[in-house]
Structure 1
Amino acid sequence: MRHHCWKFGALAAITTAVLAAPAGAASGRLTVKADQPGARISPMLYGLMTEEINHSYDGGLYGELIQNRVFKDDAANPVHWSVDLNGGAAGSIALDANQPIPDTALTTCLRLDVSTAGTGRGVGAANDGYWGIPVKPSTSYRASFYAKADDNFKGPLTLTIESTDGTRVAAQAAAPAPGATWKKYTVTLKTDAAVTEGSQYRFIVSAKGTGAVWLNQISLFPPTFNNRPNGNRIDLMDLQAGMSPTFLRLPGGNYLEGGSIDERFDWKKTLGPIEQRPGHQGPWSYRSTDGLGLLEFLEWCEDLKIEPLLAVYAGYSLDGQHIEPGPALAPFVQDALDEIEYLTGDKNTTWGARRIADGHPKPFPLHYVEIGNEDEFDKSASYDGRYAQFQDAIKAKYPKLQLIATSTVTQRKPDLIDDHFYRTAAEMERDSGHYDNYDRSGPKIFVGEWASQDVSTPWVDADKKGPTPSLSAALGDAAWMIGMERNSDIVLMSCYAPMFVNVNKGARQWAVNLIGYDANASFGSPSYYAQAMFGANKGDVVLPAAVTLADAPVQPAPKGKVGVGTWATQAEFKDIQVTQGAASILPAGDVHWALGPGEWKQDGGVLQQSSNANGTDALLGDAAWTDYTYHVKARKIGGKEGFLIKFHAQDSDNYVQWNIGGWSNTRSTLQRASDGAVEEFGGSKPLTVETGRWYDIRIEVQGMKIRCYLDDQLITEATDTPSVVSPLYTTASRDLKSGDVILKVVNTAADAQTLDVDIQGVKNVAKDAQEHVLTGRLRDINTIDAPKNAAVTDSTLHGAGPTFTHEFPAYSVTVLRLKTKK
């Protein structure tokens, strides 16, 4: 979840043309040649990806309701547990690392001491769940726990689900008094029809009687999908099914690597009964129970009727630890072979027999294996050799498996390369044709992580942003999917990331996520609905499609304010001048900056930015300024890079800037931002900014011509000619079984777009068609309280035919299914 990948090559077989209409045309035109099928669309194009981030598994998909069930989340305190004193009772709770349960991984338990039993249920240990315990009427909950007691304790145990304020009991059940040795107990609690639904509840294990009781692996499960005993939340499984996915990339990205080698996803330690699983520290600041282990991942796939895409640990972790190719890597290669055998082996194999013993006799289907995750971040450059060692071993035993590389390799040719993209919606829209010119002779593509971001740096202060994308991001996502679908001869698979987020404060580490939930309810974002529309309406072959616009977009002449900024750098700026000829166009008197992100301070004539934030800016002047010379002096105080000198700026999202000392202080280039989407132009040159030195910067703009000087030396000369971007993105395909022609149209404009649709090369087109539309305002989001504020409207379109006129709403994603004779 950390980077973008960029690759270009030869022309795609079929593209969507966007042209200007002849003068005087009232409507645009969409022409589809249904009798000229092109590339086949990959049946595996749309899948799922998630990992243990944002409490996606524990506190999310995994059904367990108790947080810190084995008391290892904090070595000093029983976090998420508190003592409950009822009816005058007195006692305490504390961690105890001296009472391990034999033949299990349960080494730390909770000791509950009762000194006074009182008149109520006694002394209890109360758990607050994952931001509450969810309760529904007429529902059974399965509780289990290990317990033992000292010789003084004789009373029973009581299990209670009650409101957090203690005024309402939702369900209660008794358990036998524990004996002197560890024993596992299972109890069912059931709510009645009058219970108030919600998550403002807690779970309590109470002891009635004096003495000491030890407790471990306290678990509470609601009903699960397909009634699996260690299963998943029903609503979150239903939402995934609604996307019509074909695969699950498991177990995740960073979650696979771990913060260190010891913290990787060690799949063998996730097998068997949950009491045999020690759990491990996850890479996103909290522990994983590993209740959702390898077999549960595979059953997750089975329940959704999709295939696993298995990612295997390849010898690199997030802290930079790596295993050199050769003998040291061999055990990890063998571990991957064992894992593949666990999925696919029969009873005569070691790990196939283990899977059968774990309760799943039938092998799982497996066609794709990914070697590692985002290995371009490995500064040792060892991935080329590591990948080769894995490929040689896996192909020798499983020659039909398709192997995916996570970074460029040269020693072996992978079957697929994994590309990742996290960018603004505008960037995704503009790059919808990313794979149109991709080299068809190289490896195929798996876009293993991608998303349109409507907030900057979603991994920074995630609790203050998001938690799910707006309709604006959904439009970017849909435009990007159109490009992938149109190029599905090379893009075989894709999956949005991250998929899940617990929306409670303190639960998330990433701010833009597909599906949101709390303990009790869930919702799909606008981007989710775009995904669902595409997944449910994927044709078999691409059809040539061309759009002619009634009014071609016109690029206005460049103009705008000036400004300064930084990226992870502290700097000072002074002696600002903006002139036209010999005359200054700055207002007389003090310079008044419009201060944007960053920590800005103006002292006399010096403007200082002192934060380490990315993308700080301060703007000055008139948005109508044209043809001027901008002069400023700048000094770097500290940080990683240099200066961002802005001009032709309309606001913080629309500007041109000279990036001096960017890319870790290695080069300079011009960049153009449009609605937050940033692109380079004019070439780049090596350049390093010295700390503490004042630089004299001058930028001359005349029409579209730009000249950039540093200390009176011409560094960059370019022409500002931004590309004209169409507001429409479209693709066409055909379902070979039904004969349906499927049109997907994304309108990113603020106005509706009317098109004359012409379906050529078919005998006839039925008058009634299916129409699915996602539209609204750009800032529209969905929430727990308004889960379908921006959702899909399904209807029947009357009046279709070989030719018909249709209006595509402003800010919309539209899917039309046209019935034709094959």
Structure 2
Amino acid sequence: MSRSTTRTATGTRWRLGLTATALLTATALLPAPAHAEDATDYTITVDPAARGAAIDDTMYGVFFEDINRAADGGLYAELVQNRSFEYSTADNRTYTPLTSWTVDGTAQVLNDTGRLNERNRAYLSLGAGSSVTNAGYNTGVRVEQGKKYDFSVWARAENGTTLTVGLQDADGTLATARTVAAKGGWAKYRATFTATRTSSDGRLTVASSAAAALDMVSLFPRDTYKHQSNGLRKDLAEKVAALKPGFLRFPGGCLVNTGSMQDYSEASGWQRARAYQWKDTIGPVEERATNANFWGYNQSYGLGYYEYFRFAEDVGAMPLPVVPALVTGCGQNRAVDDDALLQRHIQDTLDLIEFANGPVTSTWGRKRARMGHPEPFHLTHLGVGNEENLPVEFMARFKQFRTAIEAEYPDITVVSNSGPDDSGSTFDTAWQLNRDENVAMVDEHYYNSPQWFLQNNDRYDSYDRGGPKVFLGEYASQGNAFRNGLAEAAYMTGLERNADVVKLASYAPMFANEDYVQWSPDMVWFNNHASWNSANYEVQKLFMTNVGDRVVPSTATSTPAVSGPVSGAVGLSTWATSAAYDDVKVTGADGNTLLSDDFSGDASRWTHTGGGSWSVQDGQYVQTDEAAENTMVSAGDPAWHDYDLHVKATKRSGKEGFLVAFGVKDTGNYYWWNLGGWNNTQSAVEQAVDGGKSTLLAKAGGVETGRAYDIDIKVRGRQVTLYLAGQEWGRFTDDKPAEPFRQVVTADRKTGDLIVKVVNAQSVDARTAVDLGGAKVSTRAHVTTLTAAPDAVNSETATPVAPVTSTFTGVADRFTYTFPANSVTFLRIKQK
């Protein structure tokens, strides 16, 4: 998943996770346009005789990435954490091989020639009469009364050794203990428990009567999704199945193209972070090498490529794997220059296709069959790369992948991408290269504010109908409140209207364990005993289960919007950097000085609205905390407009550059020029609206440490011009309205329904005249409505955002319907 310029203050996804809670609660919808309360009457006009874009069955799908403990401790049903004692500081600096385990007696983790196998490098040496206890995930091991749980362990012990296995919590036993007689070399032993009580705080204990070696200590619920072995947690998998996804993209975004691209055997030391390589993840689970996860924990690969393909099949989705292109992303930005390694990865990709589609007589088809699936998985699409920020280097490697794949598998659609952002120099370069190379499909990713989604419903209206198709592989509006779902729903009407260009789309990311969050928002939240749908999930489900086959062209009146000038105070900030500021001057358009501060005295005119450590030093205002993120200080009047801002800024040390803000209303509403963001690789102007950010202008390039930069920003009306060292850097006009009333109409060939989909993302009802253009229809419509307060958030204990179904009996060729405030409404109308 995914790393756009609008995911955080400085735009990279891996940093956004650090401020996820704030975004979850603070992101807000743009206030209703001025005079919106007077503009509650709308008209929707449908032209049933016109032929709109066909909508593929695979239009909407899901994206899975192992982030927020989405796999281990999540979708993967294993209840034991660190089951093979492989955790290490390579995964997380707080980890040890005994993380999540407690020892009673003597035990040590060894890594020697006595190991279970070459890839399962660590094992536990347990002393006679000693025991180890596992704490599971969240609050413990979850068991439910009357349900069965399958235990297994690989052990090496002298003859006559007894392993005693128990389940208990603070209140006592949870199941009758089981004993296993272990003897001889490494062997797998099994036992079954039936829980006598329900508990979310269980512990699994293994005790040994004599010295023994243990590895792969496992406990699985018998009742996995579709009763698959090495299977999936049922409630989470069922939530995915309920969406009826057209495709499943896996195994992730940043997981794909970060870390070492080398073979496992080339890794130095006990563990080394490696890019996700599919061959590591198949075969017997005890032979799959664990790996450091990009998001700061260990991944067991128990949920591997075979399980992903099987899951896609089980939910009726097209599998869409993504492989690394040897250009790293997600802040790493490195092109691997090793032709032999590149050719190996290309061959691995060809082998992957054979694994998915090859006959049982082929090398990799035989491996698939031995895992239990002789039939092919019908792979048709494959992504190469993910959000590379080096488009030229990426395309050079992508072409080699595509050439090799098309030579052997001409029916496979090879998907490229356009980098980590919705716009900017990387995006423009990547798209031009994709067009030049006649790429079939381009994967776009972006995470923006609700306002951006309301402003950009027409994004794909102007895309070249004859150019590469779009796979919108990752998008979200930076929050899980209903206002976010409303903005995304409004945007999705534009995706459907442009279904001839946007062929695939998936919200991201999908899962988050509430106790292990690196990134937010997320579609489904869970802990070890419950799961719940976000407002965003409910929006996605409504669209995904009511797609239709073809767009029926329609138009609607718009909401008048009145926009005043860009106004607000000015600000200074840093992000993971120490910087110094001087000679701040704000001059009105009439030439009057509004603010002048050379910091020859104190900084009393500046108000701290962020963190960091600010002080006046040698006539400069200096922020010295390199770990602090968004250290905003502001000065001036929020009513200021039409002014010139001058600042002298110097980066002293750290990862990034500096940020100069204007139009500052409060802590969540402002613009800033982010110079040297994204690990000092690019600069951009970002707009924050109630905490959610969007990029308005972006260019590649960073700043030099120790160099003093003259920065000038000219604000006139809605137009802003930016100057760096006296030269114009860029300009933009922020005058695009955020339209809260959007619609699309589709036809469902199977049912004969017209589906009128309307989003009213404002705080007043929308009384609407609907003209069906002479279509002969039933008088009765089936209605599904999502409506709630804009700040409503679903949780484990409350679901204020949930669909309500009803019947409307006033349908005619022309009829009036009032769409509630803050609502998404689908009318399914039978055509005669």
Moved more, 619-628 or 37-46: 619-628
* 1: CA distance, partners of 2:255 / 2:613: 38
Looking at structure 2, the residues matched to 773 and 174 of structure 1 have their Cα atoms a distance apart, in angstroms, of 51
Q: CA 1:717–1:388 in structure 2 vs 1: closer, same or farther (change >3 Å)?
A: closer
Q: 5+ unaligned residues in a row in structure 2: which ranges?
A: 7-32, 90-95, 263-273, 419-429
Residues 490-538 of structure 1, C-alpha deviations (whole Å, 9 max, x = no match): 111122221111111xx23222211111111111111111110110010
Deviations 1:564-623, CA, capped at 9 Å, x for gaps: 344555232456556685766679998543322242535498643334555543333333
> Hey, what's the Cα distance between the residues in 1 that align with 2:121 and 2:319?
33
Residue 235 (structure 1) shift = 0.2
Q: Give the aligned length.
A: 763
Match of 1:281 in 2: 292
Cα distance, 1:279 vs. partner? 2.7
Between stretches 684-693 and 44-53, larger displacement belongs to 684-693
1:130 aligns with 2:140: no
Q: Please identify, of 537-546 and 801-810, the stretch whose mean Cα deviation from structure 2 is larger.
A: 801-810
Check if 1:292 corresponds to 2:292. Answer: no
1:514 alignment partner, one of 523, 526, 530: 523
Question: For residues 281-680 of structure 1, what are the structure 2 equivalents within 5 Å?
Answer: 281-317=292-328, 323-324=336-337, 328-377=341-390, 381-407=392-418, 408=430, 409=433, 412-454=437-479, 469-504=480-515, 507-549=516-558, 552-566=560-574, 569=577, 570-574=579-583, 576=585, 591-599=604-612, 601-603=614-616, 607-612=621-626, 615-626=630-641, 635-638=650-653, 644-656=659-671, 674-675=689-690, 676-678=692-694, 680=696
Q: Tell me, in whole angstroms, the C-alpha distance in 2 between the residues paired with 1:39 and 1:337.
A: 34
- Aligned: 1:83 with 2:103: yes
**For 1:143 and 1:561, how far apart are their aligned partners in 2?**
62
- Give the equivalent residue in structure 2 for 1:771: 783
**SS of the residue 1:176 aligns to:** strand
Deviations 1:405-437 (A, max 9, x none): 135346743211111112222222222221110
SS where residue 230 of structure 1 aligns?
coil
Structure 1 486/399 Cα, relative in aligned 2: closer, same or farther at 3 Å? same
Q: Cα gap change, 1:621/1:257 in structure 2, threshold over 3 Å: closer, same or farther?
A: closer
State whether structure 2 residue 52 is matched by structure 1 residue 38.
Answer: yes
CA–CA distance in structure 1, aligned partners of residues 281 and 298 of structure 2:
14
Q: Does the 8 Å contact 2:485/2:535 carry over to 1?
A: yes
The answer to whether the 8 A contact 1:99-1:108 is kept is no
The separation in 1 between residues aligned to 2:520 and 2:41, in whole angstroms, is 40
Contact 2:161-2:183 at 8 Å conserved across structures: no
Is residue 584–residue 596 contact of structure 2 (8 Å, CA) maintained in 1? no
Q: Is the 1:175–1:185 Cα contact (8 Å) retained in structure 2? A: no
Distance change >3 Å, CA 232–CA 643, structure 1 → 2: closer
- Per-residue CA distance 1:655-687 (angstroms, 9 max, x = gap): 455667778889988766555444547x99999
Letter in 2 for 1:283: F
- CA displacement at 1:69 relative to structure 2: 1.1
The answer to whether the Cα contact below 8 Å between 1:343 and 1:363 also exists between their aligned partners in 2 is yes
Match of 2:152 among 144, 147, 150: 144
- Residue 134 of structure 1 aligns to a residue in which SS? strand
- The verdict on how the C-alpha distance between 1:62 and 1:35 changes in structure 2, with shifts beyond 3 A counting, is same
Q: In the superposition, relative to structure 1, how do residues 254 and 539 fare at CA in structure 2: closer, same or farther (>3 Å)?
A: same
Deviations 1:775-799 (A, max 9, x none): 223332222233x232222222332
SS at match of 1:385: helix
Judging changes above 3 Å, is the alpha-carbon distance between structure 1 residues 585 and 402 closer, same or farther for their aligned structure 2 residues? closer
- Structure 1's 596 and 177: CA in aligned 2 closer, same or farther, altered over 3 A? same
Distance (whole Å) between structure 2 residues aligned to residue 592 and residue 669 of structure 1: 27
Aligned residue for 2:172?
168
Post-superposition CA distance 1:427-455 (Å, at most 9, x none): 2222222111001121111112222213x
Residue 31 to residue 150, structure 1, CA distance change in 2 (3 Å):
same
Q: Tell me, in whole angstroms, the C-alpha distance in 2 between the residues paired with 1:133 and 1:754.
A: 52
The match for 1:183 is 187
Letter in 2 for 1:751: V
Pick which of 381-390 and 394-403 moved more: 381-390
Contact 1:261 1:317 in 2 (8 A): no
The residue number in structure 1 matching 2:256 is 256
The residue that corresponds to 1:119 in the other structure is none
Alignment of 1:61-72 (within 5 A): 61-72=75-86
Q: Structure 2: how far apart are the matches of 1:360 and 1:67?
A: 28
Whether contact under 8 Å (2:63, 2:250) holds in the other structure is: yes
Amino acid of the residue matched to residue 51 of structure 2?
Answer: P
CA deviations on 1:157-199 (whole Å, 9 max, x unpaired) are 3221111x3x32111232233223333211110013xx2x342
Q: What TM-score does the superposition give when structure 2 sets the normalisation length?
A: 0.83
How far apart, CA to CA, are the structure 2 residues paired with 1:596 and 1:330? 52
| Mapping for residues 774-793 of structure 1, pairs under 5 Å | 774-786=786-798, 788-793=799-804
CA–CA distance in structure 2, aligned partners of residues 392 and 716 of structure 1:
39
Q: CA deviation at 1:370?
A: 1.4
CA distance in 2 between partners of 1:706 and 1:314 (Å): 38
In the alignment, which residue of structure 1 is the partner of 2:233? 233
Distance across 1 between alignment mates of 2:680 and 2:634: 23
Give the Å deviation of 1:277: 2.1
> Structure 1 561/284 Cα, relative in aligned 2: closer, same or farther at 3 Å?
closer
Tell me, in whole angstroms, the C-alpha distance in 2 between the residues paired with 1:526 and 1:284.
Answer: 25
**Any conservation in 2 of the 1:747–1:813 contact (CA below 8 Å)?**
yes
- What amino acid is aligned across from residue 142 of structure 1 in structure 2? D
Distance verdict in 2 for CA 1:250–1:798, change over 3 Å: same
Q: 1:540 to 1:325 in 2, by over 3 A?
A: farther
**Range with bigger deviation, 129-138 or 264-273:** 264-273
Indicate the residue corresponding to 2:771 in structure 1. 758
Contact 1:325/1:386 (CA < 8 Å) preserved in 2?
Answer: no
- Is the alpha carbon distance of 1:499 and 1:602 closer, same or farther for their aligned partners in structure 2, counting shifts above 3 Å? same
Corresponding letter in the other structure for 1:160: G
Amino-acid identity (%): 34
- Alignment partner, residue 21 of structure 2: none
CA distance in 2: counterparts of 1:656 and 1:5, whole angstroms: 14
Where does residue 15 of structure 2 map in the other structure?
none
Distance 1:770 1:177, change over 3 A: same
Q: Aligned to 1:742, which of 731, 752, 755? A: 755
CA contact (8 A) 1:572 1:637 kept: no
Partners of 1:24 and 1:317 lie apart in 2 by 52
Shift of 1:812: 2.3
Write out per-residue CA displacement over residues 692-733 of structure 1, whole angstroms, 9 at most, x where no aligned residue. 6484x666666567677788x685897966223321122111
Residues 311 and 200 of structure 1: CA distance in aligned 2, closer, same or farther (over 3 Å): same
Distance in 1, matches of 2:645 and 2:394, equals 46
Residue 726 of structure 1 is matched in structure 2 by: 739
Question: Quick check: 1:564–1:645 contact (8 Å CA) kept in 2?
Answer: yes
Cα separation, 2, equivalents of 1:474 and 1:317: 32
User: Judging changes above 3 Å, is the alpha-carbon distance between structure 1 residues 706 and 93 closer, same or farther for their aligned structure 2 residues?
Assistant: closer
CA separation of 1:576 and 1:736: change in aligned 2, threshold 3 A: same
Q: Distance in 2 between matches of 1:509 and 1:112?
A: 34
For residues 482 and 643 of structure 1, do their structure 2 counterparts lie closer, same or farther at Cα, with a shift above 3 Å needed?
Answer: same
Aligned equivalents of 1:664, 1:79: Cα separation in 2: 32
Contact 2:107–2:126, Cα closer than 8 Å, also in 1:
yes
Equivalent of 1:59, from 73, 80, 85? 73
Find the aligned partners of 2:161 and 2:701 in 1 and give their Cα distance: 77
Q: Which moved more, 1:558-567 or 1:487-496?
A: 558-567
Change (3 A) 1:198 1:556: farther
